[in-house]
Amino acid sequence: MNGKKLALPALAAAVWFLFENDRLVTDHYTVEVSNLPDSFVGKRIVHLSDLHQKKYPDGYGRLIEKCRECEPDYIFFTGDLFSRNQTVPGDKLTLMKGLLSIAPVYYIVGNHEIFYPEKARYMNDRLTEVGVNVLINRRVRLVCNDESVDLYGLALPMEHYKSPSGSYRRLAPVTKQELDSLLGTPDKNRCSILLAHTPLPFREYASWGADLVFAGHVHGGVIRLPAVGGLLSPERKFLPEFTKGVYTDGDSSMIVSAGLGKFRLMNPSQVICAELKKSEK
């Protein structure tokens, strides 16, 4: 009898877990951007991140359709397209080809790609072949009606995610000087958008000169609780400062994706549809 009493709650918990990890939602944000040219006001960006090993049995059809419904002008993918222990599969290209049928795609690497550079190089070559814009510490310009914004893709060294000894403690801090070295110094008279996998050094990104940052990495804090937010970061730290949504620091804004893959509770996989608005500051 006791076994039956325990079995029902266990079954209910298992069903709830499967439901939570299958949920896929679209969240719409409107974000004010400093230095935004008039031609980019109202532009829509789909922001995706952290797919890892998550599978979609319909060949990513549900995910691609969610993105299509946003009618984006650009699609940004901020890293961890695959997990470090995963053989790089061709279905990632299926997803990217589907996204490319909607809008131009811009992709940066995350810590899992950085952890296995040979896999990342192979994947980046395949992505480039199908038309994805792979940004590894470089800048491109998005152009509309003779106006443009600068789009930067950041790839931080592994020391900012994990120490050489394998520890997550006392990680090397990100500095403005390092960002200058990796990306160059942005023009303060132009709009600079930064794709950066980790959101944790947001203040350094703002100090460097990013008007708008897109990031992921923290998986929404894994488990989200009302009035508390996300509980855990990949660095094994509780209550990370930036987990999901829109944050500001002075004239800089950051949009953090809760990501698509990995274990999650009360924290559905997320497609972000961000609409750009000119800052009134």
- pLDDT band with cut points at 50, 70 and 90 for residue 167: confident
The answer to whether the beta carbons of residues 191 and 278 sit under 8 Å apart is no
Q: What is the pLDDT of residue 8?
A: 55
Name, in order, each residue with C-beta under 8 angstroms of 14's C-beta and a sequence gap of 6 or more: none
What's the pLDDT tens digit per position in 244-257?
A: 999 999 999 999 99
Q: Rounded to an integer, what distance in angstroms lies between the CA atom of residue 210 and that of residue 139?
A: 12
Q: Rounded to an integer, what distance in angstroms lies between the CA atom of residue 20 and that of residue 30?
A: 26
Q: Which string of DSSP letters, residue by residue, matches 22-45? A: H-EEEEEEEEEETT--GGGTT-EE
For residues 163, 166, 169 and 171, what is the CA-based torsion angle, rounded to 10 degrees? 10
The answer to whether the beta carbons of residues 274 and 255 sit under 8 Å apart is yes
From 104, 84, 204, select the one nearest 151 (Cα to Cα). 104
Q: Rounded to an integer, what distance in angstroms lies between the CA atom of residue 111 and that of residue 155?
A: 9
Name, in order, each residue with C-beta under 8 angstroms of 66's C-beta and a sequence gap of 6 or more: 24, 26, 271
Amino acid at 53: Q
- pLDDT band with cut points at 50, 70 and 90 for residue 12: very low
Q: What's the CATH number of domain 23-278, 3.60.21.10, 3.20.20.140, 1.10.3720.10, 3.40.718.10?
A: 3.60.21.10
Residue 182: Cβ within 10 Å count: 17
Q: Rounded to an integer, what distance in angstroms lies between the CA atom of residue 147 and that of residue 75?
A: 19
What's the pLDDT tens digit per position in 108-158?
A: 999 999 999 999 999 999 999 999 999 999 999 999 999 999 999 999 999
| Residue recorded with tokens 């660095």 | 235
Name, in order, each residue with C-beta under 8 angstroms of 163's C-beta and a sequence gap of 6 or more: 169, 170, 171, 172
Backbone angles phi, psi at 178, to 5 degrees: -65, -40
Q: What is the pLDDT of residue 195?
A: 98
Q: Is 4 left (phi over 0), alpha (psi -120 to 50) or beta?
A: alpha
Q: Break the chain into its structural domains and give their ranges.
A: 23-278
| Residue recorded with tokens 């303060």 | 188
- pLDDT band with cut points at 50, 70 and 90 for residue 180: very high
What's the pLDDT tens digit per position in 73-110?
A: 999 999 999 998 887 777 899 999 999 999 999 999 99
Would you say residue 66 has pLDDT above 70? Answer: yes
What's the pLDDT tens digit per position in 220-277?
A: 999 999 989 999 999 889 999 999 999 999 999 999 999 999 999 999 999 999 999 9
